[in-house]
């Protein structure tokens, strides 16, 4: 049994968070280990790509380690982690958009691979999600799948609650339009 697993078994979540904030590597590693699958699955839904989600999950873990002292216990650890992941995703996509078109082709192939890995997920929904802007996709997922409030979504994406609400509304409308278009073609 490693130090971290002993720690996870011995002490509560709140104490682990307090220890992690004080700089304990065991407590922080144990918290990250516990939340890593949740974080990765959130990033898969955002990026629609397994390897890209993996890269961003690592980037999020590094940013979380660097910024653990700024974490406040008023927010849940998962909320804080999703906030960092959302920022990492938006930063990454802004950088990517400045690069060449082949990345778009790569994203298309990654989407197909994700659909093959998860047969329960329809290609129509994946394409409809891909058609949303990254900001709208994040807002729709955080609201309708994770159940966060507009205030929390605003904090996570660095915008006002009103903007978050508008992104959710427009995102959902676009999603419906895309799904309708797919059904029309079918």
Partner 1 sequence: MKEWDEKESANGMEMDVEARLVRELRQLDREVPDEGSPGLSELEGLVRTVQARQRQALLRDLLLFWGVAALVLGVVFCAAAFALVPYLAAQLLVTVGAAAACALKLASGRKAAAHEQE
- DSSP of 71-119, one letter per residue? --TTS-HHHHHHHHHHHHHHHHHHHHHTS-THHHHHHHHHHHHHHHH-T
Query: In terms of C-beta density within 10 A (0-12 exposed, 13-18 middle, 19 or more buried), how is residue 105 classed?
Result: exposed
Binding mask 11-50 for partner 1 (x = CB under 8 A): ------------x-xx-xxx-xx--xx--xx--xx----x
Cβ-contact 73, 19 below 8 angstroms: no
Q: Which helix (H) or strand (E) holds 52?
A: helix 50-66
Count of residues engaged in binding partner 1, rule: CB under 8 A: 39
Q: What angle do CA 38, 115, 53 make, to 5 degrees?
A: 35
Output the smallest distance, CB 80 to partner 1, in A. Answer: 16
Q: What is the DSSP letter of 70?
A: G
Q: Which residue from 108, 149, 146, 153 is spatially nearest to 130, judged by alpha carbons?
A: 108
Report the residue from 11, 90, 159, 172 that binds partner 1 according to the rule CB under 8 A. 172
Q: Which of residues 108-147 bind partner 1 (CB under 8 A)?
A: 117-122, 125, 140-141, 144-145
- Residues 44-103 within binding reach of partner 1 (CB under 8 A): 44-45, 50, 54, 61-62, 65-66
Looking at beta carbons only, is 3 or 74 nearer to partner 1? 3
Choose between 36 and 106: whose C-beta lies nearer to partner 1: 36
In the complex, the residues that contact partner 1 under the rule CB under 8 A are 2-5, 23, 25-26, 28-30, 32-33, 36-37, 40-41, 44-45, 50, 54, 61-62, 65-66, 117-122, 125, 140-141, 144-145, 172, 175-176, 179
């Amino acid at each position: 049994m490693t130090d971290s697993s002993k720690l996870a078994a011995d002490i509560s979540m709140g104490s682990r968070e307090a220890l992690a904030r004080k700089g304990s590597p065991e407590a922080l590693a144990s918290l990250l280990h516990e939340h890593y699958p949740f974080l990765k699955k959130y990033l898969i839904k955002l990026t629609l790509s397994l390897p890209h989600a993996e890269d961003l999950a690592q980037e999020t873990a590094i940013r979380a380690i660097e910024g653990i002292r700024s974490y406040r216990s008023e927010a849940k650890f998962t909320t804080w982690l999703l906030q960092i992941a959302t920022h990492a995703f938006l930063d990454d996509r802004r950088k990517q958009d400045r690069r060449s078109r082949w990345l778009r082709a790569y994203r298309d192939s990654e989407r197909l691979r994700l659909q093959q890995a998860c047969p329960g997920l329809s290609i129509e929904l994946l394409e409809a999600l891909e058609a949303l802007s990254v900001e709208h996709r994040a807002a729709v997922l955080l609201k309708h799948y994770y159940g966060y409030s507009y205030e929390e979504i605003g904090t996570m994406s660095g915008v006002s609650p009103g903007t978050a609400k508008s992104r959710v509304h427009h995102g959902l409308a676009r999603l419906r339009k895309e799904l309708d278009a797919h059904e029309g073609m079918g």
